[in-house]
Structure 1
Amino acid sequence: MQIASILITGANRGIGYELVRQLAAANPSPDFIYAGCRNPDGADKLKELAQKHPNVKILKIAIGDESSYQTAVQQVSQDIGDRGLNVLFNNAGILTNRKFHEVTAEEMRKDYEVDTIGPLMLTKAFYPLLKKAADSSQVKGLSCTRAAVLNMTSGLGLINSNTSGGFYPYRPAKIALNMITKSMSIDFKSDGIMAVIIDPGWVSTDMGGKNASATPSQCVDGILSVMAKLGEEENGKVKKWNGQTMEY
């Protein structure tokens, strides 16, 4: 998988950090790996990685703060110019677990703001750079090598997988993101930009907890393998980290 540039949000920990780490260690490694996080000053592990790998560049991207999106776009544009951005990986998110009798309207709004509106607006901000990458690429058809938006979902956001209820703020926010990604896959296709939903499974991160079935390293190994194989047939679909195609 030849990716010249990729931007990953929520890159200071968990799956996002592991994506940056493995991509930086890859051979070949992307020319530009943009690691977006809310508080770069406190992202010590990311800063260590950036010191070791000059192609890792840390960006301040606070999901929900659209002013930070435009600043990030300007920084990326200065680096890559007309080459454009090949992959935008909307990984950042929050998980609020509330049962029916506990959930509040504010909790519903907060998860929707971060998990649904945030990725949509960030993609809108970076769309011109994604289109530049698609237009300048010699690759035909859809692929991560050309231009792609990858939106991180969750098994909790798949209707057919809901057997336990609960998670009232989180489940609907991810379901809405899935629908947004499906629309993107249709709207972006004529411009050569692919949009795919990624399901990381249950991972032992701060969000997933210690009892999860996969480590971040195992999960990201799988995600990168999936990314390398994405094409026309996968556009708009839910792809699990192990390569399985999931139902909405």
Structure 2
Amino acid sequence: MQIASILITGANRGLGYELVSQFAAANPSPDFIYAGCRNPDGADKLKELAQKHPNVKILKIAIGDESSYQTAVQQVTQDVGDRGLTVLFNNAGILTSRSFEKVTAEEMREDYEVDVIGPLMLTKAFYPLLKKAADNSKDKGLSCTRAAVLNMTSGIGLISDNTSGGGYPYRAAKVALNMITKSMSIDFKSDGIMAVSIVPGWVATDMGGPKARLTPTQCVDGIRNNVMAKMGEEQNGKVIKWSGEIVDY
């Protein structure tokens, strides 16, 4: 899988950092790996990684602050030019899990702002660069090596898997993100850009907690080799587990 360029949001920790790390170590590695985070000055691990790998470039992308999106687009455009951006990986998100008795309107709004509106508006900002990548690619089918939008969802956001109730803000936001992914897959298809939602599983990150079944390394290795490397027409618009399994919404 030879990806020319990739932008990963929420890259300062957890799965975002692991994605940047694994792509930086890959052979071949993308020409440009953009690590988006809210506070680059405080992203010490990312800075160390960027020092070791010149193709890793740190961008300030604050999900919810659309002015930061335009600045990031300008920075990426200066590097990639007419080659465009091959992959946009909307990984950044927040998790607010509340019962029916305790959930508040503000919590619902905050999760929706970060986990739904953020990825949608960021994709709109980078769409022209994604289209350039698709137009200039030698690959004419749908694939990650041509142009793709990847949205990090969650098993908690699958209606078919909800057997315990609760979790209102996070569940609702991820369901909405999956619908956005499906619409993107239809709207973008004629331009050669595919879109999928990825379920990372229960991973031992700050969000997943120490009792999780997967390490970040295992999860990202699966995402890269079981999902991204095998993405095509069949996977477009689908929700796919890190293991490569397509699941019901």
Q: TM-score if structure 1 supplies the norm length? A: 1.00
Q: Deviations over 1:69-123 (max 9, x none)?
A: 0000000000000000000000000000111010000000000000000000000
Could you tell me which runs of 5 or more consecutive residues in structure 2 were left unpaired when the two chains were aligned: none
**2 CA distance for matches of 1:59 and 1:106?**
28
Q: Which aligned segments of 4 or more residues in structure 1 are displaced greater than 3 angstroms? A: none
**2 CA distance for matches of 1:233 and 1:17?**
28
TM-fit CA distance, 1:164: 1.1
**2 CA distance for matches of 1:199 and 1:101?**
28
Mapping for residues 1-248 of structure 1, pairs under 5 Å: 1-225=1-225, 226-248=227-249
TM-fit CA distance, 1:219: 0.1
Equivalent position amino acid for 1:163 in 2 = T
CA RMSD of aligned residues (A): 0.4
Equivalent position amino acid for 2:134 in 1 = A
SS of the residue aligned with 1:80?
helix
SS of the residue aligned with 1:169?
helix
Could you tell me which runs of 5 or more consecutive residues in structure 1 were left unpaired when the two chains were aligned: none
TM-fit CA distance, 1:175: 0.2
**2 CA distance for matches of 1:239 and 1:228?**
13
Equivalent position amino acid for 2:215 in 1 = T
Task: Select between 72-81 and 162-171 the one with higher mean Cα deviation.
Answer: 162-171
Aligned residues: 248
**1 CA distance for matches of 2:192 and 2:138?**
11
Identical positions, percent: 84
Equivalent position amino acid for 2:229 in 1 = A
TM-fit CA distance, 1:5: 0.1
**1 CA distance for matches of 2:229 and 2:128?**
23
**2 CA distance for matches of 1:186 and 1:28?**
31
TM-fit CA distance, 1:25: 0.3
**1 CA distance for matches of 2:96 and 2:125?**
26
